[in-house]
Amino acid sequence: MKSLTQSRLLKTLLISTWLVGVAFGVFAQNINRTFVSYTLQNGTALIEVSDGTYKITPFTNQIVHTSFQPQGVTLKKFSYAVSLKPGAASFKADESAAGQIILNTDGMQVVINKQPFNISYHYAGNELIAEKNGYFRTDSLQGTTLVIEENEVLYGGGTRVLGMNRRGNKLEMYNRAHYGYETHSPLMNFTMPLFISSKKYAVLFDNASVGTLDLDSEKNNTIKYQTVGGTINYYVIAGNDWYNLNSEYTLLTGRQPLLPRWALSRWHSARCNYHRYILVWPWYFRAHGQPGLVPRFFPTT
């Protein structure tokens, strides 16, 4: 009887521990990955683990960049999508909590659990997202996994006809036209290795290689990004609201100047079928102080 009671108590404790882990996003990464050391160099936190090094850099108080460098691999220091340079924010490390390193900015917070090893991202007192199993590599692919909440809605991934909520889809990451689509098209035109959460944060994977972005297609609250090459790195972008999130994202990736007003004119795409239009247009633009234009001509029958 005593043995049975002890067995039930042990099961209860194990279940309670698992539920606490789920609630606070504490997931063990690769079971063979262990924490080794931590240093802060030139604004970047270097987290050495048993199979490589995590490099975590704040770009602003709302943007944090994370990359993983496997042992024996040299990373290429360039970006496909980002124009912003780090330096607008810095980390303040807090090691007062046992078994944790907390990297604070004036907005974002990165929590590193030493055992089991885990990285999670927080903003305004709320956890946004966390690594699940972290970096992985197979014979032909490499990638990372993140864990999300059960009720999150996910947007993004580029041009597709899948509805606004992309959660539950495994999105292919390469560009291809889809002619003749109707009410469904999982891959068309341009793709983006980016997803946006209803919790008002975004994750941008800075990698142009062919791959997939799995937005919880297996219904286990997991984001899985994998590619055939390049560097596994991503930006976590937090927003106070949708406008602020968009502002931070465009600050990171660059804001293209608007074309001049005259370049947006409908006249540029109009058909020049009538002789009087050719005579009037130059005078019209000159009268309004706008540069001249070269109209497109279409033969008439």
Share of the chain above pLDDT 90, in %: 61
Rg (CA), the chain: 25
Torsion angle, alpha carbons of 68, 74, 80, 83, to 10: 80
Would you state the pLDDT for residue 291? 60
pLDDT at 80: 79
Q: What is the pLDDT confidence band of residue 236, given thresholds at 50, 70 and 90?
A: very high
What is the C-alpha separation between 238 and 244, in angstroms, rounded? 9
Domains and CATH numbers, the chain: 28-253 (2.60.40.1760), 259-301 (no CATH)
- pLDDT at res. 204: 97
Give pLDDT tens digits for 164-202: 999 999 999 999 999 988 899 999 889 999 999 999 999
Asked if residues 129 and 119 have their Cβ atoms less than 8 Å apart, the reply is no
Note the pLDDT of residue 197: 98
What is the pLDDT confidence band of residue 262, given thresholds at 50, 70 and 90? low
30 secondary structure, DSSP code: -
Q: Give yes or no for a contact between 142 and 207, defined as CB atoms under 8 angstroms apart.
A: no
Please tell me the distance from the alpha carbon of residue 25 to that of residue 217, in angstroms, as a whole number.
19
Q: With a cut of 50, say whether residue 25 has pLDDT above it.
A: no
* Phi, psi dihedral angles at 198 (to 5 degrees): -65, -10
pLDDT of residue 257: 86
Burial of 150 (0-12, 13-18, 19+ CB in 10 A): exposed
CA distance 231 to 75: 7
Spatial distance between the Cα atoms of 254 and 262, rounded to a whole number of angstroms: 23
**Amino acid found at 68:** F
pLDDT digits (tens, 9 = 90+) for 71-101: 888 877 778 789 999 988 999 999 988 899 9
- 154-158 vs 35-41, strand pairing mode: unpaired
Nearest to 38 by CA among 131, 102, 97, 108: 102
DSSP state of 177: -
Where does the pLDDT of residue 219 fall: very low under 50, low under 70, confident under 90, or very high at 90 and above? very high
pLDDT confidence bin for 28, thresholds 50/70/90:
low
Q: Which of 231, 207, 251, 233 is nearest to 62 (CA)?
A: 251
Residue that the structure tokens 């975590």 belong to: 56
Rounded to an integer, the average pLDDT of 238-265 is 88
111-129 per-position pLDDT tens digit:
999 999 999 999 999 999 9
pLDDT value at residue 17: 38
* Per-residue pLDDT at 298: 47
